Amino acid sequence: MSTEQTLILVKPDGVAAGHIGDVISRLEGKGYVIAGLKVVAKATDAQLRQHYADKVTKAYFPELVDYMQSGPLVAIIAEGVNVVAAFRQIAGVTNPDEAAPGSIRGDYGRSWADGAIRNVVHSSDSPEAAKHEMQIWFPELNLNS
């Protein structure tokens, strides 16, 4: 297996609740390399339309944008063999009520009365998606060239 990279976002709820360090600790604890790290004060509409390109037609997309713009987020590039799939396990499934205890979403996320799914972190679902997403959040790395 070859080394690959994944794009992780600590979403605004995760930043507000103080989980940046936990996410980084879990990555470092497993021995993955942190290859990129930044605070994004507020995600732009353009960034979110690119990042969630397959979600723009969903009824919940405006809600998702509001959530992702509700505060600062932290973008991370993590590197290692099989890190894409491995971090999806560490994050847990999309619905935080169903995410396994011990996963990030299982430990820190839950559903709320307003119907929002606030699930603490994003992570790429394939190495190809990771390349696309890294260009959105780390354009200065010129990953296209």
Q: Which residues are catalytic?
A: 122
Contact mark string toward ligand GDP, 96..125, x via CB under 6 A: --------------------xx-x--x--x
Q: Exposed, middle or buried by CB within 10 Å (0-12, 13-18, 19+), for 128?
A: exposed
Q: Given candidates 16, 40, 63, 69, which one binds ligand GDP under the rule CB under 6 A?
A: 63
Secondary structure of residue 23 in the 3-state scheme: helix
Cβ-based burial of 135 (10 A; exposed 0-12, middle 13-18, buried ≥19): middle
The yes or no reply on residue 129 touching ligand GDP (CB under 6 A) is no
d(C-alpha 97, C-alpha 116), whole Å: 12
Site for ligand GDP in 69-98 (CB under 6 A): 94
**Among residues 16, 64, 65, 85, the one that binds ligand GDP under rule CB under 6 A:** 64
Rounded to an integer, what distance in angstroms lies between the CA atom of residue 134 and that of residue 131? 5
Shortest spacing between CB 143 and ligand GDP, in angstroms: 21
Which residues would be at the binding site for ligand GDP (CB under 6 A)?
Answer: 55, 60, 63-64, 94, 116-117, 119, 122, 125
